[in-house]
A and B are shown apart, each in its own frame.
Chain A
Amino acid sequence: MQSNFVAETSAGIIPDSDQERMQRDLVARIQRIEEINRIDPSQGDLGKSQIMEMLLWIAFSIVIWIVFLISS
């Protein structure tokens, strides 16, 4: 649940050395994730099986919905 609205306000809250360390960590992590996605661009995409699963859950709910509607 985060975003970068903190802007320049971190001064005085986190020591500079920690900020530098976190900056390096962030860059390294982003590079790693970009590399993973470059090797297999669709590895984290919504696949057919996920779409099917989604539709099955929705279909399950609709069946119950219809049963209730008919019985009411």
Chain B
Amino acid sequence: MSSLDSIKSRAYQESVAGRMPVLPEERIYHSYSSFLWTCIVFAAATYAFLIGGYLPYCANIWVGCGGYLIGCVIGLALVTPGCGMASYKYGIDTMDVAKSSFGTRGAVIPLTCALITAAGWGFVVEALTAHGANTIVQTVRGDQIGVSSYLTVSLALLSIGFVGYMLMTRPTAFERFNKYIAVGHILVTCIMLWMLVEKFGFSSLLTASVPSSQLLTDNKTLGLTLGIEFGVSNALTWWPLGGGLSRLISKRKNLIGPSVLGAGVIGNPFISSVAALAAVKEGTPDPTIWMIKLAGPYAGSLIMVLVLFANLATMILLFYLCGIMAQQIKWFAKRSWLVVIAVFMSPGLVVAFYSDQVLNSVMSFLSYNGVMFTGIAGVTFVDYFILRQQKIDIRQCFIRGPGSKYYFWGGVNWVAVIITGAAMATYLWLFNPITAASAPEFKFCGAAIPVMFASAALYYVVMRLFILPTGKGAYPESTGAGLESSVPPEALTL
């Protein structure tokens, strides 16, 4: 077996093994603090620095950071039980639970959204890495720090090439470092906060603001809503991750609190708020520049080298995750590891030439995460908690083809799919993530929260009126039967 075949086999086996229901005795998060720490680790990613750099543009720094905190907390308080409760109860992943609402084949839609999210953040980190390395080179040379296009492009190509090489040869070589990366990010954040207070003074930080001509809006109400929108969008990216973590918790009382506090307060808003202060005081949202400006050429370059190392490990992890997740899609499962990785990484070659635009569009991408998951979160919440009354037939999630009760029409619940599509369209009508233009209604309640509630309500009404009476999807109310099904063991498959 060649090296590539061996990696492909490992990725496939990880994909399959990752789908096995987790039994109570196998769960690893027994306490509030252990799950809290894991949530902090997951949320404290490199791009939290980048997101923070843009928050001061929402009217002012405190409105942006406050709104972001509110959005993260509300979003996670809603998303965590939505994606986590069924996974906790049955020990299965969010994508398997999603089959009960989207159908055994329709669940490819949330899976695709998860792939886009992982690959997209991978490209953001690529652009950030190229800029960071460029800044270090310029600092070492004694040049004025700025954008050097040829150097940035070369470094971006180098980083994507290195990540591709590692994924082809030793994809798990950096695995052991990943658990230390978040610790490093929090440590860097604390050091940066201390340096900010030392350099500028506490009172100066309280009044920090970007020039009014650069603001997305000078209306504080709209600025607050924008901050909330970014926070909710970030919380919605928890949807594909939350189930995988929730099924490793041993007590249900430890599900919601640690997720909201860890990811929604400490892990993300804290890092982003410090980044926001640094961005305003140093005059750039680019963390690769303000870190060196703030900490000085020596300490700043050293910190930046550590951050870049972390970035490479993060990129490898994100694209490796894409490779593993993609094994669940028939087309990818039939292809070699080389092709799978090439498909996901090849846009990185284009990104190398447009890293400025990628970094400038990071908030748009964050909002597009919200666009993708608002409908999905609303539909799956109502389907599991209300229509299925918190009971799914776990066997049906592991049956291929028309034999599954969750097969709906050709394996797809078109009601869920259409409502998810309509939710995306409505979101984009309320708020355009590219231009930041918004409908008048956006100012008061944002886009993600009302769209999530509207899609949930619409899904409930349509399913209740038209689908449940047909008996499709084996909803308890329509079948009137218990969930115990007599599926022969040989029909169950991963």
When the two chains form their complex, are residues A50 and B81 in contact, meaning their CB atoms are under 8 A apart?
Answer: yes
When the two chains form their complex, are residues B23 and A4 in contact, meaning their CB atoms are under 8 A apart?
Answer: no
Q: Which of A11-69 contact B (CB under 8 A)?
A: 13-14, 18, 22-23, 25-27, 29-30, 32-34, 36-38, 41-47, 49-50, 53-54, 57-58, 60-62, 64-65, 68-69
When the two chains form their complex, are residues A1 and B240 in contact, meaning their CB atoms are under 8 A apart?
Answer: yes
When the two chains form their complex, are residues A30 and B394 in contact, meaning their CB atoms are under 8 A apart?
Answer: yes
When the two chains form their complex, are residues B93 and A1 in contact, meaning their CB atoms are under 8 A apart?
Answer: yes
When the two chains form their complex, are residues A7 and B394 in contact, meaning their CB atoms are under 8 A apart?
Answer: no
In Å, the complex CA distance between A33 and B330 comes to 28
In Å, the complex CA distance between A14 and B14 comes to 11
What chain B residues lie within 8 Å of A42 (beta carbons)? 390
B12 CB within 8 Å of chain A: yes
In Å, the complex CA distance between A19 and B391 comes to 29
When the two chains form their complex, are residues A6 and B256 in contact, meaning their CB atoms are under 8 A apart?
Answer: no
How many A-B contacts at CB < 8 Å in the complex?
A: 184
Query: Which of A4, A33, A53, A64 is close to B394, meaning CB atoms less than 8 Å apart?
Result: A33
When the two chains form their complex, are residues B107 and A3 in contact, meaning their CB atoms are under 8 A apart?
Answer: yes
From known contacts A6-B330, A30-B21, A69-B221, infer whether A23 and B492 are also in contact, taking CB-CB under 8 Å.
Answer: yes
When the two chains form their complex, are residues A64 and B252 in contact, meaning their CB atoms are under 8 A apart?
Answer: no
When the two chains form their complex, are residues A33 and B21 in contact, meaning their CB atoms are under 8 A apart?
Answer: yes
B114 CB within 8 Å of chain A: yes
From known contacts A3-B95, A3-B99, A4-B328, infer whether A50 and B255 are also in contact, taking CB-CB under 8 Å.
Answer: yes
When the two chains form their complex, are residues B493 and A26 in contact, meaning their CB atoms are under 8 A apart?
Answer: yes
What chain B residues lie within 8 Å of A2 (beta carbons)? 15-16, 18-19, 93, 95-96, 325, 328, 494
Q: What 0/1 pattern do residues 51 to 63 of B give for CB contact below 8 A with A? A: 0000000010001
B193 CB within 8 Å of chain A: no
Q: What 0/1 pattern do residues 85 to 96 of B give for CB contact below 8 A with A? A: 110111101111
When the two chains form their complex, are residues A26 and B492 in contact, meaning their CB atoms are under 8 A apart?
Answer: yes
What chain B residues lie within 8 Å of A29 (beta carbons)? 20-21, 23, 91
Interface size class of A (residues with CB under 8 A): 35 or more
In Å, the complex CA distance between A32 and B260 comes to 30
Q: Which of B56-98 contact A (CB under 8 A)?
A: 59, 63, 66-67, 69-70, 73-74, 76-78, 81, 85-86, 88-91, 93-96, 98
From known contacts A3-B95, A53-B256, A61-B70, infer whether A72 and B494 are also in contact, taking CB-CB under 8 Å.
Answer: no
When the two chains form their complex, are residues B9 and A26 in contact, meaning their CB atoms are under 8 A apart?
Answer: no
Q: What 0/1 pattern do residues 106 to 137 of B give for CB contact below 8 A with A? A: 01100100100000000000000000000000
In Å, the complex CA distance between A1 and B67 comes to 30
What chain A residues lie within 8 Å of B214 (beta carbons)? none
B8 CB within 8 Å of chain A: yes
In Å, the complex CA distance between A47 and B220 comes to 38
When the two chains form their complex, are residues B89 and A3 in contact, meaning their CB atoms are under 8 A apart?
Answer: no
Minimal beta-carbon separation of A26 from chain B (angstroms): 6
In Å, the complex CA distance between A36 and B26 comes to 14
In Å, the complex CA distance between A30 and B491 comes to 13
In Å, the complex CA distance between A2 and B116 comes to 15
When the two chains form their complex, are residues A1 and B104 in contact, meaning their CB atoms are under 8 A apart?
Answer: no
From known contacts A4-B398, A4-B493, A68-B224, infer whether A45 and B96 are also in contact, taking CB-CB under 8 Å.
Answer: no
When the two chains form their complex, are residues B244 and A5 in contact, meaning their CB atoms are under 8 A apart?
Answer: no
From known contacts A44-B252, A68-B224, infer whether A30 and B85 are also in contact, taking CB-CB under 8 Å.
Answer: no
Query: Which of B90, B95, B111 is close to A44, meaning CB atoms less than 8 Å apart?
Result: B90
In Å, the complex CA distance between A21 and B14 comes to 15
When the two chains form their complex, are residues B390 and A9 in contact, meaning their CB atoms are under 8 A apart?
Answer: no
When the two chains form their complex, are residues B89 and A5 in contact, meaning their CB atoms are under 8 A apart?
Answer: no
When the two chains form their complex, are residues B18 and A1 in contact, meaning their CB atoms are under 8 A apart?
Answer: yes
When the two chains form their complex, are residues A68 and B66 in contact, meaning their CB atoms are under 8 A apart?
Answer: yes
When the two chains form their complex, are residues A5 and B73 in contact, meaning their CB atoms are under 8 A apart?
Answer: no
Residue of A nearest to B489 (CB): A27
What chain B residues lie within 8 Å of A3 (beta carbons)? 19, 93, 95-96, 98-99, 104, 107-108, 111, 328
Minimal beta-carbon separation of A5 from chain B (angstroms): 5
When the two chains form their complex, are residues B327 and A57 in contact, meaning their CB atoms are under 8 A apart?
Answer: no
What chain B residues lie within 8 Å of A13 (beta carbons)? 8-9, 12, 333
Q: What 0/1 pattern do residues 300 to 328 of B give for CB contact below 8 A with A? A: 00000000000000000000010011011
When the two chains form their complex, are residues B394 and A58 in contact, meaning their CB atoms are under 8 A apart?
Answer: no
Residue of A nearest to B104 (CB): A4
Residue of B nearest to A36 (CB): B24
Minimal beta-carbon separation of A72 from chain B (angstroms): 3
Q: What 0/1 pattern do residues 232 to 256 of B give for CB contact below 8 A with A? A: 0000000011001000000011011
List 14 interface pairs A-B (beta carbons < 8 Å), by A numbering. Answer: A1-B18, A2-B96, A3-B98, A3-B328, A5-B330, A22-B494, A23-B494, A29-B91, A43-B252, A50-B253, A53-B256, A61-B69, A64-B70, A68-B70
Closest 3 CB pairs of A and B: A44-B89, A72-B220, A2-B19
* Chain A residues in the interface with B (C-beta under 8 A): 1-7, 9-10, 13-14, 18, 22-23, 25-27, 29-30, 32-34, 36-38, 41-47, 49-50, 53-54, 57-58, 60-62, 64-65, 68-69, 72
Q: Besides A2-B18, A69-B221, 7 other CB < 8 A contacts? A: A4-B398, A14-B9, A27-B489, A30-B492, A34-B394, A46-B385, A54-B81
